[in-house]
A and B are shown apart, each in its own frame.
Chain A
Amino acid sequence: MSRKTALLLLPGLAFLAIGFLVPAVAMLVAPPGAETAAVFTRFGEMLVDPYELRIIGRTVALGLIVTALCVGLGFPIAYLLARSTSRWGGVLLALAIFPLLLSNVVRTFGWLVLLGANGAIGKLLTSTGLADEAPQLLYTPLAIVLGLTQLFLPLAIISCYSAVAQIDPGLDDAARGLGAGRTRTFWTVVVPLALPGIVVAATLVFAGSVTAYTTPYLLGGSGQRMLATQLFSYASVSVGWAAASATALIMTILVFLISGLSSLAGRKGATT
């Protein structure tokens, strides 16, 4: 490596080390005022503690539901957009990407108005006589699922769109010409060819859902704790460094696990 190249690279690397790598590692081995092994001891305790397990379980379960919903709704959108010849296609694609630019806080507030005690959905149910009194919608798992689906649907659409757009529409026509119906063509030609994109979408959505903070904080409240809100409460309210670091470790392991599984699936898909 020439001296010039090193000079271009080193400031960035140094910054990365101070602003990210060293603190991240130090958090695991040396939380202030705690022993080195404290984080790992606490980590082991959490994995057998029913209260912590319920939070981990809720985080994973809601993450899986949101992933299924985002792929289930996002893939049809991506498919229709990629195959659309209408001039509205571009507008609808922009409308699907635009939320990515918009603050998560702004996007999530809408659900407070929709699901809250004086919210639109409760009003609708009572005024049409479907319910005698407005049901509790806010601070439920349903609210979190809706909020996270709204948040991550654009990511799923984009990943699936890139995959579908690469499939030659001629293949659809060929399958149809050989006698396959529309549904059969979709499931035996389009979906298998777009599978790498679907895997990427699922990975991004799951990793995002199990680490999201704003949504469970605003829509889940203290009754529906997830790993992210639990981590914050350990780190801020009660000064439990070891517990906070251990929760961070669980969250990171979850994300690494899903990324590892997804790249394994990608590699397997490439060889078969």
Chain B
Amino acid sequence: MRRPVAATLAVLGYLIMIVPILFVVATAFSAGRTLRFPPEGFSLQWFEAAVTYDPFMESLVSSLYLAIGATALALLLGVPATIAIHRGKIPGRGLVEGLFLSPLIVPELVVGLALYQQLMIGFGLDNLTTLLLGHTALLLPYAVRVTGASLALADPAVEEAARGLGASPVRAFLTVTLPLLRPGIFSAALLGLVTSFNNVPLSLLLQDREFRTLPVTMLDYVQQSYNPRIAAMATIILAATVVIAVIAERTVGFAKIFGGINR
């Protein structure tokens, strides 16, 4: 080993990042009744217990609806705004872009409190609408920044050339600009889905008996029961996340989307 100190610290870092996740998986296959290690025997019973447990499955569906809805809305609002920011002549462009990125700098829990207090209690808005509003605001910065990055790489002269060759503005957009934006939109969509689905702090105060999100339901579950059902649900989420990571790697490049590396 050429750099013993750095290598030791690196191994320690990887252990802290990875070992807890392995322990979740190991306990999910337990045949015992409590979350303990080493697990007592091997069985798939807790996976069955997780997928037949209504609160988990109902909130899973809710979380998926919310993630898809918020991502779609954030892209519908964010992509036109990105085009306006990069291609339109607007005074104070930096300020406008900063405004779209602003939800990133306020703690999510604080945003959640503001929406709960002002929109749900103050205005009497239902929790689904409030969640959708909040998650869309949370995802707008990603939509604007990620699609903006691919728009900045595209040469505006290509669109002008299409117009010069007789294409209408709509046709130039659909046949030239949109294909250029596709990798950006795809990355933003993937990032948005994952961010919304995993969110706790923003969703935490916006729960309701009718519409709950999965991560918050899981947090509540641990307070009441301490058994491997939760580990099995966590392992299912882990497996789904691995699939998404592989899809990301095969299409746009995993490190590029989620690490912002080589952007």
Contacts and interface: CB of A to CB of B under 8 A. Distances in A.
A95 B14 contact: yes
Contacts of B34: 118
Contacts, number: 282
B252 interface: no
A20 B202 CA distance: 11
Interface stretch (B45-53, B76-84, B180-188): B76-84
A116 interface: yes
B23 A211 contact: no
A101 B245 contact: yes
B24 A2 contact: no
Contacts of A21: 99, 102
A196 interface: no
A123 interface: yes
A26 B116 CA distance: 12
Interface in B1-57: 2-3, 5-7, 9-10, 12-14, 16-24, 26-27, 34-38
A76 B99 contact: no
Give the interface size class of chain A.
Answer: 35 or more
Interface string B102-127: 11011111110111111101100000
A153 B14 CA distance: 9
Given A102-B21, A102-B241, A103-B241, A73 B255 contact: no
B137 interface: yes
Contacts of B205: 232, 235-236
Contacts of A236: 205
Contacts of B177: none
A107 B222 CA distance: 14
Contact of A73 (B13, B119, B218, B219): B13
Contacts of B38: 120, 123
Q: Which of A80, A103, A149 lies at the interface centre, i.e. has the most chain B CB atoms within 10 A of its CB?
A: A103
Given A23-B119, A72-B9, A110-B19, A245 B113 contact: yes
B215 interface: yes
Interface stretch (A40-48, A49-57, A248-256, A264-272): A248-256
Given A16-B99, A103-B198, A77 B10 contact: yes
A98 interface: yes
B258 A248 contact: no
Contact of B230 (A1, A13, A109, A149): A109
Nearest to B39: A113
B239 to A, nearest CB: 11
Interface stretch (B86-94, B148-156, B158-166): B86-94
Contacts of A99: 17, 21
A57 B38 CA distance: 37
B231 A19 contact: no
A140 to B, nearest CB: 16
Contacts of A244: 113, 117
B144 to A, nearest CB: 8
Contacts of B2: 182
Interface in B53-88: 73, 77-78, 80-81, 83-85, 88
B147 interface: no
B137 A19 contact: yes
SS of A interface (majority): helix
A24 B9 contact: no
B190 to A, nearest CB: 9
| Chain B contact patch, size range | 35 or more
B234 interface: yes
A236 B204 CA distance: 10
Contacts of B201: 211-214, 228
B125 to A, nearest CB: 10
A36 interface: no
Contact of B261 (A23, A105, A161, A212): A161
A113 B234 CA distance: 13
B192 interface: no
Nearest to B215: A105
B142 interface: no
Contact of A241 (B27, B105, B106, B117): B117
Contact of A232 (B7, B26, B109, B241): B109
Interface in A111-126: 111-114, 116, 118-120, 123
Interface in A145-180: 146, 149-150, 153-154, 157-158, 161-162, 165
| Closest 6 A/B residue pairs (Cβ) | A110-B20, A5-B88, A118-B36, A73-B13, A19-B137, A211-B107
10 contacts: A19-B115, A20-B137, A73-B10, A77-B9, A102-B238, A112-B35, A113-B35, A162-B261, A236-B205, A244-B113
Interface of A: 1-2, 4-6, 8-9, 11-13, 15-16, 18-24, 26-27, 31-32, 72-74, 76-77, 79-80, 92-114, 116, 118-120, 123, 146, 149-150, 153-154, 157-158, 161-162, 165, 182, 186, 207, 211-214, 217-218, 228, 231-232, 235-236, 241, 244-245, 248, 251-252, 255-256, 259
